[in-house]
């Protein structure tokens, strides 16, 4: 066990033998570790990974995140991330989510809680999608009176003032994810 423990900067292999995978980098000559962990060698693909227990608070491509809408623009929304794959995170980094091809007037409002999937890290920004059915608004309030709303097909209706408003609702609207967030 102790032989396989490696530390940041430790040489694992030559770049001629293996490619650098997760938690590794190549310095031009050697593949080196970037974190404390254990080596995992994919001999078929000839890639070296380093397994590490703690996960930093930046979502990876494919991660499902839940967060609060911090800004709404014409064709995108900005989301401050609170949960990554169901685990709470305190980093509050933001991702942006394109809403260009969604045929709705209001996708989400500021302070709504939404669920999105990370699709890329591009030009220094984290990009996410809200298009699939399970992604969208998990929790929102009435835009007129700020009271509780209920789902009516693809829209929400205020229980107090009966105002009906559009949102891109998640299939989990008002269910499991919302329960977790409300316990926070």
Partner 1 sequence: MGGRDTDLVLLDENGIRCDGRKIDEPRRIMIKAGVLKNADGSAYIEFGDNKILAGVFGPRDVHPKHIADTDTGILRCRYHMSPFSVTERKSPAPSRREIEISKVLKEALQPAVMLEQFPRTVVDVFLEVLQADGGSRCAALDAASVALADAGIPMRDMVSSIAAGKVADTIILDVNNEEDQAGQADMPVGYMPNLEKITLVQLDGILTQDEYKKCLETAIGGCKLVYEIQKKALTDKFFSNGESA
Residues 81-140 that bind partner 1 (CB under 8 A): 90-94, 123-125
73 touching partner 1, by CB under 8 A: no
32 touching partner 1, by CB under 8 A: yes
182 touching partner 1, by CB under 8 A: no
SS (H, E, C) 82-138: EEECCEECCCCCEEEEECCCCCCCCCCCCCCEEEEEEEEEECCEEEEECCCCCCEEE
E strand or H helix at 80, and its extent? strand 76-84
Which residue in 43, 44, 54, 183 binds partner 1 (CB under 8 A)?
54
Tally Cβ neighbours within 10 Å of residue 118: 21
SS3 of 3, please?
A: helix
Which CB atom, from 93 or from 143, has the smaller least distance to partner 1? 93
Which residue in 38, 98, 129, 151 binds partner 1 (CB under 8 A)?
38
28 touching partner 1, by CB under 8 A: no
Which residue in 19, 21, 47, 52 binds partner 1 (CB under 8 A)?
52
What does the block give as tokens for 25? 């980098």
Which CB atom, from 38 or from 129, has the smaller least distance to partner 1? 38
Contact in structure between 7 and 14 (CB atoms under 8 Å): no
**Binding residues for partner 1, per CB under 8 A?**
1-2, 5, 7-11, 23, 25, 27, 32, 34-38, 50-58, 80, 90-94, 123-125
């Amino acid at each position: 066990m102790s032989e396989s423990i490696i530390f940041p900067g430790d040489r694992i292999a030559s770049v001629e033998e293996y490619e650098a995978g997760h938690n590794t980098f190549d310095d031009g000559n050697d593949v080196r570790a970037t974190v404390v962990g254990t080596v995992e060698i994919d001999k078929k693909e000839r890639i070296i990974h380093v397994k590490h227990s703690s996960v930093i608070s930046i979502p990876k491509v494919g991660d499902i995140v839940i967060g609060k809408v911090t800004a709404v623009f014409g064709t995108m929304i900005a989301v401050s991330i609170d949960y990554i794959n169901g685990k709470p995170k305190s980093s509050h980094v933001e991702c942006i989510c394109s809403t260009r091809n969604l045929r709705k007037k209001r996708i989400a409002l500021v302070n709504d809680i939404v669920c999105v999937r990370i699709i890329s890290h591009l030009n220094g920004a984290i990009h996410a999608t809200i298009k699939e059915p399970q992604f969208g608004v998990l929790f929102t309030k009435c835009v007129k009176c700020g009271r509780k709303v209920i789902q009516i097909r693809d829209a929400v209706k205020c229980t107090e003032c009966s105002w009906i408003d559009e949102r891109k609702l998640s299939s989990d609207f008002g269910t499991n994810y919302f329960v977790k967030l409300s316990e926070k």
